Structure 1
Amino acid sequence: MSQQIHSFNNAYIVGISFISALGGYLFGFDFAVISGALPFLRTEFALTPVWEGFLTGSLALGCIVGCLIAGEIAEKYGRRPGLMVSALIFAISSVAIALSKGMVYFVIMRFAAGIGVGMASMLCPMYIAEISPAAVRGRNVAINQLTVVLGILVTNLVNYFLADAGPDAWRWMFGLGTVPSVFFLLGVLWLPESPRWLIKAGQADKARSVLNKIGSAGFVNDTVVAIEKSLTGGSKQSFKAVFEKSVRPAVLVGITLAVFQQFCGINVVFNYTSTIFESVGSNLNQQLFETVSIGIVNLVFTLLAMWQVDKLGRRPLMLAGALGLSVLYLVLAYLLQNQYAAGLVSIFVLLAISTYAISIAPITWVLISEIFPNKIRGTASTVAVVSLWGAYFVLVFTFPILAKALGTYGPFYLYAVICFAGFLFVKAKVKETKGQTLEELEDNLIRH
């Protein structure tokens, strides 16, 4: 499909991308709120390292369930209903966590919040990829990552200003998540269904109506023909189909990238900022200020990633990010081990965040949203994102335990090795995808 001959309604495309990406904002909220709340929760629930890891990681266990639910809803009823369910779960769980009376209840409600996060983490990038023309698909999917980091930054700022609100400050931190949840739900009511899902569901006229709002008549005709061709001979999606020989290479790449995005270790920095800076003598106020600095740097470099992802491409950014993190972790581990000043530690933490934000963070989601064939995209995305959240649980559950056994610096030596292994994997297995339609990528996969 020649993208150059078509014209597009860019304002509409960006608008629906941002609305669907509000799920990413809520993902960022639930992901970041724990960092500011942990100093209070340690006192509230007398947390041991094991319980601290499990309480933090319980979100990820819910995410796994959420991905499985989202996959079913996305295939049977469409992408839009899945986004609506996700918004409702976010709103209800925010209130429920704020009202927690004990640790077990808190963990159960945090698990429930994870269901909403898991649904959004899978459906938002998938939806955006399916409504975006190839030339801007990378940028548009990266909008989801932008809203994630906006959610992280705003949440960190709110946590910082709530820190002096007393021992129940954590309740306000979680409860305020209800506000963006309602905005997300109202926005989803306005979204159209994915044209690719509509065609697969036998609703080609509705799909054409949606595509007409996105681009010119030529774009509509070419897209419908390409989608119908890619679905020819398709059967009901199943997990068995995801591992058929013809698509197995793409699925294994997707799973490995998803796991690597977590095992690269950066989410330890996001979730355990207070632990890391406490180890070099920072007080609570300084610890929460560091979370704000991290949020700002994360936002700036995510914007740079959106600008460059469709220019430089996916592969060069992933290679640079993996190798850069490997080097930075070695320096950070050395600084923590030798008790260097918090200011110097902060510089290398922020360098690691910036490296991750411009590379591995957004590019992983872009690749997961585009490398799978149309016939199995929903189920294959489920497998990849479930793998991602499983890896996240392992990462955040083990960090407090490893930090107690090895010192706060110890795990970062391990993460440095993992990042170098990730660099070698990307170099060997990940192909460039920029500028190709989802159907062209599928054709290339079949030919190779």
Structure 2
Amino acid sequence: MAHDVQNFNLDQKFEFTAAIKKPIMTVLVIGAILLGIGIVMAMFGGGHEEAGEASGHAFHWYERLYANIWINNVYFAGIAIIGVFFFAIQYAAQAGWSAPIVRVMLSLGNWLPYAAVLMIASFFLMGHDLFHWWHAELFDPASAEYDKIIDGKGAFFYWPMEKGTFPIFYIVRMVLFFGFWVFFFNKLKSLSYAEDTLGGTQSWYKIRSMSAFFIIFFAVSSSIAAWDWVMSIDTHWFSTLFGWYVFSSWFVAGLSAITLITIFLKGLGYLEMVNENHVHDLGKFVFGFTIFWTYLWFSQFLLIYYANIPEESVYFLERLESDVYGPFIFVNILVNFVLPFLVLMTRDSKRHGVFLKLVCSLIIAGHWIDFFLMVQPGTLGHNGGIGFMEIGMFLLYGSAVTWVVLGGLAKGNLIPKNHPMLEESYHHHI
């Protein structure tokens, strides 16, 4: 049956044409304009001077800008690494169905080097304003600001330096994680493209073993990254399943991005081998992990609600009882669970691009709201919200990521033509 696969053009390359670039550029410009309007409004509208709840100081307009940059850095870095993770899963699990779309998954990783630079640079520039634990007076027992709880956690950020000086341990972790993520991405990418010229199964076995190492590293690093980059904003509070929670939010968003790119390429006449069965599988992943995210959200909420321990419940109280964030808790559940659950419940909806495009677009915006709810209350108190600045920044980042991902995808063949399981994928039927 080998001749079946040969009927397709396996040397097909995605052309990143001017017609595709134009709408991305348009969204980028709209995002920049909205962001500019948001910044001007924040500068002249001013913040609330009584905004001391979160940080004990007068509020400055640029803090909102910093919080937005941080939300988008964390969110899109997560989507990028999920692409590499999902690619690695396919090889580690010896999955055959996904053979024609593994490069779509891997293409998300093209954002990782940019994410690394943005993340590390913004931490140096804005970390002091974003992270309460970076304030030296918290670690000085003689200071009125001394905080015993944060002092107890200080070594996690500052080791081997003195607490309250320079968070070397924290920065080393960030650099190491991004360094290894970019290393694994580049290694997997070069092995995948080498397969096109080498043939045989040698590359496939190499990718498989490299994927196994990456998955182990990812399991540890993604969880610690979640504690460092998000949970440490609310330094007093902690949740033992927070690493899982952030992973699930990233994962659903990443799966949605992979699905959208696949449907987009199909619409342009690429990926002829990919049929409604493959699309159905992607739809099932999105559906299943939407429920997984909700399960973790509810587990975290229910345990904290039921135990009703003040230092735990404060996290939800400052969100649920807030005029600014309260409504978004319900938007979060509606967009990330109720709508995807109801729309993707039937078999047909998971096989039709129109439903998946709608749900996946909603999920990508919805999980941004999830990260907005994790970051803004702890950094901005009641000076947060979603306005021109937030929408502009999201569009700016989203279009930049899309540009980088599609640009990377255009650099090589779309389908790994010597993948040993292409035949299996061609006959994939569910």
**Shorter-chain TM-score above 0.5:** no
TM-score, normalising length: structure 1: 0.31
More helix by share: 1
TM-score, normalising length: structure 2: 0.32
- Please say which structure displays the higher CA radius of gyration: 2
Bigger RCO of structures 1 and 2 (CA < 8 A, at least 6 apart)? 2
